[in-house]
Amino acid sequence: MSELWNGLVRAVQLIVSLDLEVMAITGRSLQISVVATVLASAVCLPLASVIHFQHFTGKRFVISLIQTLYSLPTVVIGLLVFVLFSRTGPLGGLDLLFTPTVMVVGQVVLIIPVLLGLTITAFSGVNRAIIDTAQSLGASGFQTAVAVIKEARFAAVAAVTLGFGRAISEVGVAIMVGGNIRGFTRVLTTAISLETSKGDVELSLALGIILVAIALIINLALNRIQQR
């Protein structure tokens, strides 16, 4: 119990004193996950509307496939990205392995299925009558899609929130393709993992609390957006 208590005290100390390393790690975590979430959202929103609004053969299969990928282990994605970007891999020439950039790539790959699947579900949740109404009022195909996206905005925001949550809390991709390099690719989750194995449970706990606090703040902020 004392460890937990000391961890809490230490966390407060580290946060209040704006400990440089902790701030740097936190900032890096946020930056990588936010960029990954923004990129994934930019891909998923249009892609989800295409999948939802277009009729094509194999649509059901595509959606099932996307949903299956929800549960893809992060280490498997880490491995995949690692192989792609390693010196001998097809993208090895870019020399991006063990950089924040490749971590972003990995997290984008990680959260795309969740974001895509949940956004499609969000669109399907929009009443058919909304589409009819938009069309009958003279909306073009594109305008109808925009109307549906607007109707689905709450559920879509929830999808983005979940995507961000998965990105900032994952450790598999970050450690495999980022390498946990101090001051460069070390993020909250990899730092926690490292400090715990080094025996510094207090610091780990402090970082963990910061991680949860970030998740909480972001969720609250998105909830405010949803309520509008």
Partner 1 sequence: MAFIEIVNLGRTVGGRDILKSINLKVERGEVFALIGPTGAGKTTLLRLIDILDAPTSGKIYFDGADTATSTQERLKVRRRMAFVLQKPVVFNATVYENIACGLKWRGLGGYELRRKVDNLLDMVGLAEYRRRNARTLSGGEAQRVAIARAIAVAPEVLLLDEPTANLDPVSASRVQELIARAGDGKTTIVMSTHDMAQGQRLAGRIGVLVGGELLQVGSSKDIFTLPRSREVAEFVGVENILNGVVVMNEERVVTIDVGGKMVEAISDYGKGEVVLTCVRPEDITLSLARVSSSARNSFAGEIVRVVAVGPLARVEIDCGFALVSLVTKRSAEEMGLAKGRQVYATFKATGVHVITKDA
Applying CB under 8 A, the residues found at the interface with partner 1 are 127, 129-130, 132-141, 143, 147, 150-151, 153
How far is CA 7 from each of CA 19, 27, 139, 161, rounded to the nearest angstrom?
Answer: 15, 20, 57, 28
Spatial CB neighbours of 14, under 8 Å, sequence gap ≥ 6:
22, 203, 206, 210
Q: How far is the CB of 172 from partner 1 (least distance, A)?
A: 38
The DSSP letter of residue 174 is I
Give the residue with the Cβ less far from partner 1, 79 or 139: 139
Give the residue with the Cβ less far from partner 1, 150 or 182: 150
Q: How far is the CB of 132 from partner 1 (least distance, A)?
A: 6
State how far the Cα of 158 lies from the Cα of 132, in Å rounded to an integer. Answer: 25
Q: How far is the CB of 143 from partner 1 (least distance, A)?
A: 5
Give the residue with the Cβ less far from partner 1, 13 or 143: 143
State how far the Cα of 118 lies from the Cα of 32, in Å rounded to an integer. Answer: 22
Give the residue with the Cβ less far from partner 1, 48 or 134: 134
**114 contacts 166 by C-beta, under 8 angstroms:** yes
Give the residue with the Cβ less far from partner 1, 84 or 147: 147
Q: How far is the CB of 12 from partner 1 (least distance, A)?
A: 41
State how far the Cα of 197 lies from the Cα of 162, in Å rounded to an integer. Answer: 28
State how far the Cα of 217 lies from the Cα of 200, in Å rounded to an integer. Answer: 26
Q: How far is the CB of 142 from partner 1 (least distance, A)?
A: 10
